[in-house]
Structure 1
């Protein structure tokens, strides 16, 4: 009786199909690994500017004026004009409000020297207990020299390392999509290269840009009384600065007038509480109303000043420092 041939031939065909599919899978896997290894590290990320700011802070000769805050600080000063008027080196450390007040203070407090003047100007919502947005914090920590310094628990360290993997995969997907499409998108203005050598965020074309308050009025909606942990953190920072021979000034942030009108009662309560709890360790510069201006001074949010607003705020700070004999060392 003859041996059946069809089952054997079927097995051969099935094996060939398996081999082809396996080869395709291995090829795709190898290409994927190659893509993973070749994904370039971000070089113009907005948050990556913190590396430049840390370097400038370290190199700037004393006495220095150190500007601390979120993006309202990044947009809010002409540091070159401030340096010329005060005779001090100026470093603008402002990046993003979502990093939280603790991050902002911690990033400079160990670098302070005798004679330094620290201008702390947090956005209003940072006086509440929500001191930071971990999503933003985890995005900037890879650029910091000691990221664990900013993590307060084992749970946060685990979460941060998981987030690093997510960020890595997001970059990979974006990189692969860009290679498949074959073109890059137009550069976003929010990038590392938009910061000046002293840390100011410069928008060459924004002189013509004015905030449309009919379309956009966002935060702050601050708490009427600052969170106790926030006041405690500011007081601790002022004590550490004093021990190093540095002085601390609290400067209220700029705010577009419709946003202030909406939240004026809470801001007034916040002002009263801050003056009661922070003085005399912290000098408070003026009042919130001193920095409430119409939309023509703002760019794209209730906090971001255009060049006209930036110059006005810088001039007001210079006048205050001169009146308090804090300008020239």
Structure 2
């Protein structure tokens, strides 16, 4: 008994240290904390917008950093909310994390990056931790063992993250992260991050996985059960146009089109070869490119959602 009592101070110290690490990672300072905050802000925006019909755009960061919601809203005449999140959260967690915001009459536009379309199990590096951060542990069917391990690791910040936060605090008076910048009143990013290193064209070596096909098909059923409608779009991506990439994207488009209406440029397959359109990654667009992408989406969506030319002209003015 005496030995056990002797361990109490040690256990208390360990528990306190773990708790501080958890608070840092999930609530303030760690990268996950900024992603959680961005998600909560987007959900609050969607909850506040009352309209008979809305366009909810979702996916990973290739949706978040790709669209200009206000420009699309002007073109279609309906409220638009950017619910794009982060690719490593994984398809199986992204989709159930946004489905609660879908209402009768809504149109859901899913723009998934190939990162999540090609994944074999729908889970990414941040799947388990993101579910914990938004108080929905196990979201997406995370295996219990993986969930337990992730919860434990959330109390152990990396030295690199702590060092960055310390430098931020000294130089800026606050901690920052990739997603720490505020979003607009429609969920769009308010800060543009630009690439520092050299560009290279992204190859796409395989088509959509069978798991992604099944999960997106299920998502369509979930959206329709709420009275909404699902539309899919291939992402814009700075990519190679080698034979294997083109074949993979064509096959992906064929499979997605079987699930729901799919919009994309038939000639280019949304594969872009001009790096000046892109910000810091192969999917993220610069502000001017987002406007071009927005106009493209407006023209592609009009015939699908019943927006006539006179209505869109009025909204443009």
Using the size of structure 2 for normalisation, the TM-score is: 0.76
> Alpha-carbon deviation of 1:194?
3.8
- The partner residue of 1:140 within 130, 141, 157 is 130
1:116 aligns with 2:111: no
Q: Name the CA distance, whole Å, in 2 between partners of 1:171 and 1:123.
A: 30
1:291 aligns with 2:270: yes
Q: Name the CA distance, whole Å, in 1 between partners of 2:111 and 2:215.
A: 14
Q: Name the CA distance, whole Å, in 1 between partners of 2:257 and 2:164.
A: 54
For the residue of structure 2 that corresponds to 1:110, the secondary structure is helix
1:236 aligned partner: 218
Matches within 5 A, 1:1-329: 41-42=27-28, 45-48=33-36, 49-62=38-51, 63-131=53-121, 134-167=124-157, 170=158, 174=162, 178=166, 183-184=170-171, 190-203=178-191, 215-217=198-200, 219=202, 221-223=204-206, 225-256=207-238, 259-262=239-242, 265-275=244-254, 277-279=255-257, 281-287=259-265, 289-293=268-272, 294-327=274-307
Q: Name the CA distance, whole Å, in 1 between partners of 2:282 and 2:302.
A: 28
Rate the CA distance shift 1:261–1:218 in 2: closer, same or farther, 3 A.
Answer: closer
Contact persistence 1:125–1:219 (CA under 8 A): no
Q: Name the CA distance, whole Å, in 2 between partners of 1:172 and 1:260.
A: 33
Worse-matched range after superposition: 39-48 or 148-157: 39-48
For the residue of structure 2 that corresponds to 1:324, the secondary structure is helix
Q: Name the CA distance, whole Å, in 2 between partners of 1:182 and 1:59.
A: 33
Q: Name the CA distance, whole Å, in 1 between partners of 2:109 and 2:212.
A: 16
Aligned residues: 288
Q: Name the CA distance, whole Å, in 2 between partners of 1:176 and 1:285.
A: 41
Q: Name the CA distance, whole Å, in 1 between partners of 2:252 and 2:17.
A: 57
Using the size of structure 1 for normalisation, the TM-score is: 0.74
Q: Name the CA distance, whole Å, in 1 between partners of 2:165 and 2:63.
A: 35
Root mean square deviation, CA, Å: 3.6
> Alpha-carbon deviation of 1:140?
2.6
> Alpha-carbon deviation of 1:141?
2.9
Select the structure of larger CA radius of gyration: 1
Rate the CA distance shift 1:166–1:295 in 2: closer, same or farther, 3 A.
Answer: same
Contact persistence 2:118–2:208 (CA under 8 A): yes
> Alpha-carbon deviation of 1:99?
1.0
Q: Deviations over 1:122-145 (max 9, x none)?
A: 111322234556432244334314
> Alpha-carbon deviation of 1:113?
1.4
Q: Name the CA distance, whole Å, in 1 between partners of 2:199 and 2:128.
A: 28
Contact persistence 2:181–2:191 (CA under 8 A): no
Contact persistence 2:93–2:139 (CA under 8 A): no
Q: Name the CA distance, whole Å, in 1 between partners of 2:212 and 2:169.
A: 48
Contact persistence 1:99–1:134 (CA under 8 A): yes
Q: Name the CA distance, whole Å, in 1 between partners of 2:160 and 2:249.
A: 45
Rate the CA distance shift 1:191–1:87 in 2: closer, same or farther, 3 A.
Answer: same
Q: Deviations over 1:79-126 (max 9, x none)?
A: 112122222222111121111111121112233211111111111132
